[in-house]
Amino acid sequence: MVKLGKVLSFMLASVLCLTLSALALPAEAADESSPAANGNRLEESTDSRYGWLDHVNLHGLIEVEASYVNVDSAPPGTDSTDSDLTLATVALGIDVDIVKHVSGHVLFLWEGDDSEPLEVDEAGIYLDGEDIIPLYLEAGKLYLPFGNFASHFISDPLTHELGETRESAVIAGYTNETLDLSFGVFNGDIDERGDNNRIDNFVASGVFSLPEETVPGLELVAGISWISDLADSNVLQDEIAVSAINNKIDGISAFVSVALWERGSLIAEYLSALDTFEAGELSFDDGKRLRPETWNFEAGYALTDALEIALRYEGGKDLGDLLPDRQYGIVASYCLFENTVLSIEYLHGEFANNDEQDLLTAQFAFEF
């Protein structure tokens, strides 16, 4: 795919050159007692031992959150109020790019009580064609290219809650300045009745980016994606109430993101199951057949270079008491220093069982 033979030939030639250099030292390096010779060897040794660090990139994220939640329940006398102050997220990523066409990525993640202790959230090997062919291949523990989930808010949109999927997978793709097409295979955690635990799940996506020079001041990205079994999403797989579902549930997602003159931005996304879960397959279905779907719309505007505000309106159906049927709110984010952001958001959610929820969250985030 990326002319692996050239890479192997280069590695073999490098080993051969190093071997020949060790056997035939230059004449000026023959006098080992020379201080200059010793100094040169020390410098070369230091370069060979630590030069590879130039090809390693460390990056991370720390998020501290304070939250207040008030739930007005439909049954009288069951209202509840909670507040908390937590270290919400600690993430540390390592990207290594030593060999041309080959790179590696590892992300360690800790999210409050959701990932105790620290876990490997992502780990993959990436092959790319760069200047040879516009193809790539990624293999490892990955977030599948299903959905986009872009947002201005602290809280994830409902599309993210329903559709985000992390699996061990192999993804192959084609990319250029305007188009990114990908197709992947994986073995999902949720089995279809009669399935023998095989690699028979698929994901595909296509993303189009409008060239910057097409319309001055306008940036547009749009895409569509498909997954062969939405039951494997991070949220739904925990809500499957049976050992195996009758049939795989295809899922689809479509999004568009628009940036206007570096100040305004619009985000719209739709994510849904294409088939219906049988009654009793989902823990929240109350004995009904459900076809979960969600959508999200956001509009943001940067008042200054440091201050941005955004509005959100989102919803869905067949979500039971798992996610709100309707939710709306506002967020303000202020960049205190470089890579340091303070955000405050308010969300009001309405559930199918007539419960209503008010959520106020403040987040202090530092990215490096």
How many C-beta atoms lie closer than 10 Å to residue 353's C-beta? 13
**Cα 245 to Cα 236: distance, rounded to the nearest angstrom:** 12
**Cα 274 to Cα 74: distance, rounded to the nearest angstrom:** 31
Q: Which residue has the tokens 């105790």?
A: 116
**Cα 222 to Cα 210: distance, rounded to the nearest angstrom:** 9
**Cα 3 to Cα 99: distance, rounded to the nearest angstrom:** 13
> Exposure of 263 by Cβ count < 10 A (0-12 exposed, 13-18 middle, 19+ buried)?
middle
Pairing outcome for strands 166-175 and 80-99: unpaired
Q: Express as a percent the part of the chain with pLDDT over 90.
A: 67
Pairing outcome for strands 135-143 and 102-110: unpaired
Find the helix or strand (DSSP H, E) in which 327 lies: strand 326-337
Query: For residues 130 and 210, is the Cβ–Cβ distance under 8 A?
Result: no
Structure tokens at 291: 């076809």
What does the pLDDT average to over 134-149? Answer: 96
- The pLDDT assigned to 71 comes to 92
> Has residue 11 got a pLDDT over 50?
no
Least confident of 16-30, 52-66, 176-190, 342-356: 16-30
Reported as a pLDDT band with limits 50, 70 and 90, residue 7 is very low
- The pLDDT assigned to 302 comes to 96
- The pLDDT assigned to 100 comes to 87
**Cα 22 to Cα 341: distance, rounded to the nearest angstrom:** 53
What is residue 355's DSSP assignment? -
Average pLDDT, the chain: 86
The DSSP bridge partners found for residue 66 are 85, 362
> Has residue 253 got a pLDDT over 80?
yes
- The pLDDT assigned to 49 comes to 58
**For residue range 98-133, what is the model confidence (pLDDT) as tens digits?**
888 999 999 999 987 665 678 899 999 999 987 789
Is residue 269 classed as helix, strand or coil in its secondary structure? strand
Reported as a pLDDT band with limits 50, 70 and 90, residue 31 is very low
**Cα 340 to Cα 337: distance, rounded to the nearest angstrom:** 5
Domains of the chain: 4-367 (2.40.160.10)
> Has residue 50 got a pLDDT over 60?
no
Query: For residues 109 and 115, is the Cβ–Cβ distance under 8 A?
Result: yes
Count of alpha carbons within 13 Å of 161, Cβ hemisphere only? 18
**For residue range 277-325, what is the model confidence (pLDDT) as tens digits?**
999 999 999 999 999 999 999 999 999 999 999 999 999 999 998 999 9
Dump the DSSP string for 243-261. SSBSS---EEEEEEEEEET
**Cα 331 to Cα 151: distance, rounded to the nearest angstrom:** 11
Residue 182: what residue type? S
**129: left (phi > 0), else alpha (psi -120 to 50), else beta?**
alpha
- The pLDDT assigned to 51 comes to 65
